[in-house]
Amino acid sequence: MIEAIAAKDYYIATFLLLGIGTYVMIAAGNLVKKVIGMNIFQTGIFLFFIASAYVEGGNPPILTTEGPYVSPLPHVLILTAIVVGVALTAVALGMIVRIYAEYGTLEEDTLQEVRHSE
Amino acid sequence: MNEIPSLRPLAAVLAPAVAVAPILASGARPNLREAWTVLASVLTLGLVASMVPGVLAGDVYVTELGSLVPYVDLALHADALGILFGLLASTLWLATSFYSVGYMRGLGEHSQTRYFAAFAGSVASAVGVAFAANLVVLYLFYELLTVATYPLVAHDETDEARAAGRKYLAYTFGGGVAALAGILLVVHLAGTTTFVAGGMSGLAGADPTLARAAFALLITGFGVKAALMPLHSWLPDAMVAPTPVSGLLHAVAVVKSGVFGIARVLLDVFGVDLVAALGVGTVLAAVAAFTLVVASVIALRQDNLKRRLAFSTVSQLSYIVLGLSVGAAAAPGEATKWALVGGLLHIPAHAFMKLTLFFCAGALHVETHTDDISNMAGIGKRMPLTMGAFAVAAAGMAGIPIVAGFVSKYFLLLGTVTAGDLVFTAALLVSGVLNIAYFWPVVYTAFFESQGDSDEKPLLSGVLGGRFGRAARADGGHHGESDDHGPFERRAPNGAEGSWFVVAPILFAAAGSVVLGVVPDAAVFLQVVREIVAGATAMGVVV
Amino acid sequence: MSDLVPFAVAVPIFGSIVALAAGVFRSKSGWAVAVGASVLQLAVAGTLAASAFGDERISYVVGGFDVPFGIELVVDGLSATVLLLVAGVALGVLAYARRAGPRSNPFYATYLLLVAGLSGMTVTGDLFNMYVFLEITGLAAYALVASGEDGRSPVAALKYLIVGTFGASLFLLGIGYAYIGTGTLNMADLAVKLAESAAVDPTLAQAAFALIVVGLFIKVAVFPLHTWQPDAYAGAPDTVSGLISALVSTVAAYALLRVVYTVFGTGFLESNPVAEAMLVGGAVVSIVVGSLLAVSQSEVKRMLAYSSVSQFGLIVAAVAIGNTTALVGAAIHLVGHAVMKGGLFLTAGLVATETGARTVEEFNGLVDRSPVGAGAFGVLAVSMVGVPPTVGFAGKWYVAVGAAESGAWALLAVIVASTLLTLAYFARLVERMFFREPAPQPAVERAGATTSAEPADAVADGGGGDPRGASLGMYATVVGAAVLAVALGFAAFGYGELLEPTIERLLLSP
């Protein structure tokens, strides 16, 4: 049992991150925390890809090192995905700044109240 | 049968459709606007009439415009059945155009431009229904007819009119959905939607259960507009529309498009043989028989004249459906011919008579603002020509000889008797008696009573001598001003009773009813009907 | 010819940079740049489409890396259709945006970025590349939604962003499973490898399918994953609502079709009934519930948004049916819906500009105050309901015939009944527009209502709407959409015949 878990530790960590991220996105009342949850969720996926590239005893895929290499492609993909994630975070935070300027709050409940009383 | 490529069917649809634009554009100049309406109706009638001789000689005029969607050609064809409906709609549109002018101006109605535009659109759709060459094109115009008629039903813009409009849309689009489902089943079973005189060959070998389902869906779909019970209740409510609409659309174009759809399904989709084999004809006939008796009974209790006429329409439409279905269900032979001829001939017969009746109801409304029968005591003195025409048409409805109704009902009775369906014969006879029972009080009140005795007089005489009290008025539409009708003054039948725009169309329609009744062979409709029945049953010239 | 393919993406991206740069020298020059780029884009799309319908398929390999290692761009009949739609709608909406705004240069830079993302999703033949373009599309769309002037725009945009990112992430996770199972990301190559059932663990393939489809369901806004959509469409400026309602979900639905049939293929659906049930379930629930929610809305733009939920249910239904007729129907309905829904949103914007009416109640008696708006709205609504011969009917007919051909009776019943459901929410609006007197003092009434955002300057809601009222461009766009909705109905058959070979190849591919 323990060995089975230990052999899949990356995947377990991945799905823990996905779970935590989803939970924070849904449950957090603060808009910034929601964005943090989103980041955690994405990190889980990054880890998933990178873990899949791992080869037992593999070297980094650089020409001067000896094989076997770990798979380079997922690394490249995730590099792209990280860039996308950064851009998303930036846009999200930009919106949050505007929301705060408009309503003076970042709490979802308060925001709802303010908008209803408009 | 020769197929002649021709643009005339298309032109007949386009003439009224195109007229919508100039009608809308000349809204500021009523006379010009009405000139467009009249011009379009003359043009339409001319185009349709020009095809009649060819059709009687066995030709079919076809317009092919390529494909619309898979299995469906965008095609129009003017065959005998199409000509029957197309000729009827375009002839009566001409009369109604003049009548509309008199009616709408007489009442100083609002939004007349929208009214005339929607009217032209409705007629274009009705002609399209007539000349549709396949189920989908038929469905297309059937739906467009709903859209084009909706502004006319909701014309008054009162809560009542809007409610009626909503009900109208819900019923007819609901029916449209059923029809669409049926069409899809037909595509699945037969691989085509094109009408074939005598039925589609692909359906004959199809799974009978699915074929019956397709039949039921199609009949339900078209049955809504044909006001088969229990799908009829939109029709009495739609009477809130201006009277020319009730007359042309809700007694001729719209409701007959439903009946026409049923005729197409019976004759050109399934074919009489298959309908008999599937055993669905008798079921439909039973529904029609039920409707025609029950609707007549309900008509007895209506005090509002237009509502009474509406229930009469419900009943009369089922005569047609009964004739078609009995004809289709019967074993091939005399019964088929007679029932079919009776049913089909009742299409124009009922149209002329009911149009007369509605025109009269509208004339009464314009001149005296009288809508309820209980207020009509002595109105015959005030409007002798109008009520005279009413009496003639009412007699026709009841099947009294020398008026159109007699001829078609005679064929219907002959058909049901030869087919051995005596139950249906009985239903027809009972309904005939009921017809007299609900029309006679109107004529009697108008001519033989005067306002003075109205206090003591029962509102409605029952069939068997019973009396319905004041409570019966609740059936009719209430009108606040209905109590202040003074005694009607006497006027001579020389045009003093109303505008000639109103009176002349009434006389035209009444004369049409009589011509159809006296010399049916000379009137073109019976010849067309024979042509249809010959094509549908492959029995050569009949009757 | 194939060298032209990358320009479909490059032209708008380049235009976007130019628009941003031009803003430094001259403000409000963005519109002209956007028009230039869109015209060029339309020319590229047109040229590609002209040959894509004739030839087999146009393929371009980015950077000279051989397929399946490099990124492949593919144009066939289906993607050419969507590409043409994207370019055409983008240009049409620009005509509207001239007066309706927003007018800043960054807005038009983002606008072009959105077009680039959509074009990229359309032409890409690589699954991960599709994810990247999905995110570019998303980013641009979030920013556009937030470009409205009142407070509800950024709130709606943030919700859109979080839900949309969640969907895109699931999509990425699905790609991960597919990659682990097959070791490739090229769609055509994936299809070959997935079809060799022995080589791939079926659980991996199923997980990949489920994650990708759910991810795209979020982007398409299939019930119950639609929650971002009504807020986003209603909160965005009118120009943006028109653009994204016409294109964003449409291209996502195209991606769904592409992934389901190019990558997984009919064989996969046949051997995994659960996968098909997922599509059917999503479709049915979406059609029915979307319509019911639409009926209960009091704001016109929200109602239209829920209508989209329902209409995309129809497209998902076509994907679930998966025969040639149904998929041709899906393509027709994608185009038709884009024209109709985009047109409806722009009409709603036009009406708001002219009269300030934004709620269902305020549409009372609209025909007197805004005859063009009411007329166009009426025509588009009739088309949406599916009255022949409009394009709304053509799409529905193809899908329904496809359902009948496959014997999917339950689905057929829902598709046919959807006509009535659509009627339910459009009829009440049409009745109010044409057959009711306007409410005596709409402005006062609106102040009492709590749902409406900024009653006093409803005109300005359009994000820099002009007090001078509607422009010729706005009228032209709205009327053009209404005319197209009818005219395309007649073109549907010819187009269907053109597309059929493409779809047949799509269904045959391994």
Statement: residue C443 has pLDDT above 50: no
Statement: residue C214 has pLDDT above 50: yes
Three-class DSSP category at C34: helix
CA-nearest residue of chain C to B177?
A: C416
Nearest to C435 among B162, B173, B177 (CB): B162
Put simply, the answer to whether A102 touches C151 (Cβ < 8 Å) is yes
Domain holding A50, by residue range, is: 2-116
How much is the pLDDT for A33?
A: 93
Residues of chain B whose beta carbon is less than 8 angstroms from a beta carbon of chain C are 66-72, 74, 136, 139-140, 143-144, 147, 151, 154, 157, 161-162, 165-166, 169-170, 173-174, 176-177, 180-181, 184-185, 187-188
> How far is the alpha carbon of C432 from chain A, nearest alpha carbon, in Å?
27
- pLDDT tens for chain B, 543 residues long, are 678 888 888 888 888 888 888 888 887 888 888 888 888 888 888 888 888 888 888 788 888 887 777 777 888 888 888 888 888 888 888 888 888 888 887 777 777 888 888 888 888 888 889 888 888 888 888 888 888 888 888 887 788 888 888 888 888 888 888 898 888 888 888 888 888 877 787 777 778 888 888 889 999 989 888 888 888 888 888 888 888 888 877 778 888 888 889 988 888 888 888 888 888 888 888 898 899 888 888 888 888 888 888 888 888 888 889 888 888 877 677 777 888 888 888 888 888 888 888 888 888 888 777 778 777 777 777 777 888 888 888 888 888 888 888 888 888 888 888 887 788 888 888 888 888 888 888 888 888 777 655 444 444 555 554 444 444 444 444 444 444 455 566 665 655 666 778 778 888 888 888 888 888 777 777 778 877 777 777 654 444
Q: Which residues of chain C have a CB within 8 Å of the CB of A81?
A: 131, 172
Confidence of residue C160 (pLDDT cuts 50, 70, 90): very high
C-alpha separations of B52 from B73, B128, C424 in Å:
24, 16, 42
> How far is the alpha carbon of C64 from chain A, nearest alpha carbon, in Å?
17
Mean pLDDT to the nearest integer, C35-61: 85
Q: Which residues of chain A have a CB within 8 Å of the CB of C157?
A: 95
How much is the pLDDT for C465?
A: 41
Cβ-contact B234, B168 below 8 angstroms: yes
C101 vs C184, higher pLDDT: C184
Statement: residue C242 has pLDDT above 80: yes
Residues 6+ apart with CB under 8 A from B412: B319, B322, B323, B338, B339, B342, B343, B346, B428
Chains that touch A (3 or more CB pairs under 8 A): C
B120-124, B354-358, C66-70, C276-280: lowest mean pLDDT where? C66-70
Put simply, the answer to whether C394 touches B69 (Cβ < 8 Å) is yes
What is the DSSP track for C94-151?
Answer: HHHHHHHS---HHHHHHHHHHHHHHHHHHHB-BHHHHHHHHHHHHHHHHHHHTTSSST
Give the mutation candidate from B20, B68, B69, B144 for the C interface (greatest C CB count, under 10 A).
B69
CA-nearest residue of chain C to B186?
A: C404
N- to C-terminal Cα separation, chain C: 26
Put simply, the answer to whether B144 touches C387 (Cβ < 8 Å) is yes
Confidence of residue A20 (pLDDT cuts 50, 70, 90): very high
Q: Which residues of chain C have a CB within 8 Å of the CB of A94?
A: 146
Q: What is the DSSP letter of B465?
A: S
- How, if at all, do strands B2-5 and B59-69 pair? parallel
A11-25, C335-349, C406-420: lowest mean pLDDT where? C406-420
Put simply, the answer to whether C431 touches B166 (Cβ < 8 Å) is yes
Q: Could you read off the pLDDT of C283-304 as tens digits, one per residue?
A: 999 999 999 998 888 888 899 9
Maximum Cα interatomic distance, chain B, rounded to a whole number of Å? 69
Put simply, the answer to whether C154 touches A45 (Cβ < 8 Å) is no
Distance CA B435, CA B315 (A): 9
Q: Could you read off the pLDDT of C299-325 as tens digits, one per residue?
A: 888 999 999 999 999 999 999 988 888
Put simply, the answer to whether C423 touches B173 (Cβ < 8 Å) is yes
Distance CA C84, CA C225 (A): 28
Distance CA C143, CA C161 (A): 9
Chains that touch B (3 or more CB pairs under 8 A): C
> How far is the alpha carbon of B67 from chain C, nearest alpha carbon, in Å?
6
C450 vs C208, higher pLDDT: C208
CA-nearest residue of chain C to A45?
A: C173
How much is the pLDDT for A23?
A: 93
Percentage of the residues of chain A whose pLDDT score is greater than 90:
39
Rounded (10°) CA dihedral B270, B275, B278, B283: 130
């011009």: which residue's tokens? B39
Q: Which residues of chain A have a CB within 8 Å of the CB of C172?
A: 45, 81
Containing B69, the helix (H) or strand (E) segment is strand B59-69
Q: Residue type at B197?
A: A
Percentage of the residues of chain A whose pLDDT score is greater than 70:
98
Count chain A–chain C contacts defined by CB atoms under 8 A: 78
Structure tokens at B38: 């009249």
Three-class DSSP category at C60: strand
CA-nearest residue of chain C to A36?
A: C162
> How far is the alpha carbon of C163 from chain A, nearest alpha carbon, in Å?
9
How much is the pLDDT for C211?
A: 93
Cβ-contact C426, C381 below 8 angstroms: yes
Confidence of residue A82 (pLDDT cuts 50, 70, 90): very high
C-alpha separations of B431 from B94, B168, B252, B342, C436 in Å:
31, 27, 20, 16, 41
Give the mutation candidate from A45, A55, A77 for the C interface (greatest C CB count, under 10 A).
A77
Q: Which residues of chain A have a CB within 8 Å of the CB of C143?
A: 91
> How far is the alpha carbon of B102 from chain C, nearest alpha carbon, in Å?
24
How much is the pLDDT for C510?
A: 58
How much is the pLDDT for B496?
A: 61
A8 vs C160, higher pLDDT: C160
The residues in C 77-106 lying below 8 A from A, measured between CB atoms, are none
Q: Which residues of chain C have a CB within 8 Å of the CB of A95?
A: 142, 146, 154, 157-158, 161
Put simply, the answer to whether C152 touches A115 (Cβ < 8 Å) is yes
Nearest to A49 among C162, C176, C454 (CB): C176
B213 vs C446, higher pLDDT: B213
The ipTM is 0.92
Q: Which residues of chain B have a CB within 8 Å of the CB of C493?
A: 66-70
Statement: residue C54 has pLDDT above 80: no
Containing B64, the helix (H) or strand (E) segment is strand B59-69
Find the CATH number of the domain harbouring A26: 1.10.287.3510
Put simply, the answer to whether C388 touches B144 (Cβ < 8 Å) is yes
CA-nearest residue of chain A to C453?
A: A118
Task: Domain count for chain A, please give it.
Answer: 1
Mean pLDDT to the nearest integer, C433-438: 77
Q: Which residues of chain C have a CB within 8 Å of the CB of A118?
A: 450, 453-454
How much is the pLDDT for B283?
A: 87
Give the mutation candidate from C150, C172, C175, C299 for the A interface (greatest A CB count, under 10 A).
C172
Nearest of C91, C95, C88, C90 to residue C476 by alpha carbon: C95
Q: Is C64 left (phi over 0), alpha (psi -120 to 50) or beta?
A: left
A88 vs B364, higher pLDDT: A88
Confidence of residue C132 (pLDDT cuts 50, 70, 90): very high
Confidence of residue C87 (pLDDT cuts 50, 70, 90): very high
The residues in C 364-423 lying below 8 A from A, measured between CB atoms, are none
Give per-residue burial for B346-358: e unless 16+ CB within 10 Å, then b.
bbbbbbbbbbbbb
Put simply, the answer to whether C431 touches B154 (Cβ < 8 Å) is yes
The residues in C 436-495 lying below 8 A from A, measured between CB atoms, are 450, 453-454
Q: Could you read off the pLDDT of A45-78 as tens digits, one per residue?
A: 999 888 888 877 888 878 888 878 888 888 888 9
Q: Which residues of chain C have a CB within 8 Å of the CB of A88?
A: 135, 138-139, 161, 165
Structure tokens at C478: 């709205």
* Positive or negative: CA dihedral B182, B188, B194, B195: negative
Nearest to B184 among C412, C419, C434 (CB): C412
